[in-house]
Structure 1
């Protein structure tokens, strides 16, 4: 029996992938390539067991040489984030496993962050509220609406182990649908910092049920083209996440 072909980001995550697979600056090509690939892994744009886009495609999207890309992949492989496989169904596959929840780990990460937790929350709210209000104001195409509903269904159906990844892709998709690369890039960077803290916090079933209702309210407001309702729905959702983190870290 032949081995099933593995998925790559080109097959399921384009909007979210565009937020991280963006052109790097020539002066720090290697470092930024590593950062982009690591962001894709930690944000769950490329999940554990899934494959990065083909080398030629990924180098083109990042605007780097294939030599630089290979060096970055080798660095991540040596650190245990990915592995390279040969053969027809080969490529670069993610092997990273997020750390187990730990309050001490979250506090250590927070101490290393630049700026305060409040600053992080305020900036995230400005980005995500702005994205939702924009989408509700201009409306969605049929294709965009279908994608957003797909992302919603994925996060609703996610297992506890896969929830953070699907939740992240849902939020990044909202930013990408605005058509603003600057907004998408800023949210991806902010979500990286948030996720480091969220991954250290246990996932509670009751909180997931509440988040699911809030996600649905956000999508419904956008589809109904109600900017004020979308603003309130996103603010409520993000306030809830901020409260949980503060309580966990307190």
Structure 2
């Protein structure tokens, strides 16, 4: 299968430019999957065409075509004016299962590798942060935690979540571990800048974040590692649940009279 040529060439699956069928169709698959996972929630504004093109390594023309398809199919609405843009209208549509299967199921071996790598790396980062954190690190970590607790909406929540885990990774005093954490987060977010999300996951994450920060601050290295091991399965759980939902929809269609 040939690769399209309107983006930089990279090797990893979700840091790589999207691969043909038709580029805009692949962008549609990814954005429909992102919305179904809660990377972007109903009522939320998507990043700009320029930002999406940079995230996904494709041309703005391909992004524009994909957004047009998503608007026509009822996933997005366009709002005009100074604060206008594309806003999420629906998190699921008649063909969502097909899009999800092409985006996730077709790449499932890679996702299993991502889940496994996170299970290995994130507890190590939390353990090391608890052993090496400085007062400067703790100031950044606590500020990010409070921002997450106080976040008024999804955008603020995902920004604070990213800041918190980045601050914990930096507390390891090892830039390679920081890069590994950022790379894994990028991959699991489909290169779209946010982890899968629901209100229930956020409620659980608040408590886990509090426990993780306490363990790091108090130097309880093994506790920090154990908390991280559980915390970083939240996104994995939502991805697995979505794959099961898509499979059930597909099965129901096959058995329908």
TM-score range, shorter chain: 0.5 to 0.7
Which one of 143, 148, 170 corresponds to residue 136 of structure 2? 143
Match of 2:236 in 1: 242
TM-score w.r.t. length of structure 2: 0.55
- Which segment drifts farther, 200-209 or 212-221? 200-209
Residue 248 of structure 1 deviates from its aligned partner by: 2.1
Residue ranges of structure 2 left out of the alignment (5+ in a row):
1-7, 17-33, 40-45, 52-57, 65-84, 245-257
Residue 204 of structure 1 deviates from its aligned partner by: 2.6
Match of 2:176 in 1: 182
1:151-207 alpha-carbon deviations (Å, 9 max, x no partner): 112222221244333322322222222122222222222111111299899743222
State the 4+ residue runs in structure 1 displaced beyond 6 angstroms. Answer: 75-81, 95-100, 197-202
Alignment: residue pair count: 180
Any conservation in 2 of the 1:109–1:197 contact (CA below 8 Å)?
Answer: no
Q: Rate the CA distance shift 1:186–1:203 in 2: closer, same or farther, 3 A.
A: closer
Q: Which one has the largest radius of gyration?
A: 2
Which one of 203, 206, 214 corresponds to residue 208 of structure 2? 214
RMSD: 4.3
Residue 243 of structure 1 deviates from its aligned partner by: 2.1
> Are residues 1:152 and 2:158 paired?
no
Q: Rate the CA distance shift 1:100–1:153 in 2: closer, same or farther, 3 A.
A: farther
Map 1:194-233 to 2 at 5 A.
194-196=188-190, 203-233=197-227
Q: Rate the CA distance shift 1:48–1:197 in 2: closer, same or farther, 3 A.
A: closer
Any conservation in 1 of the 2:211–2:227 contact (CA below 8 Å)?
Answer: yes
1:198-240 alpha-carbon deviations (Å, 9 max, x no partner): 9899743222111100011110000010011111111111233
Any conservation in 1 of the 2:212–2:224 contact (CA below 8 Å)?
Answer: yes
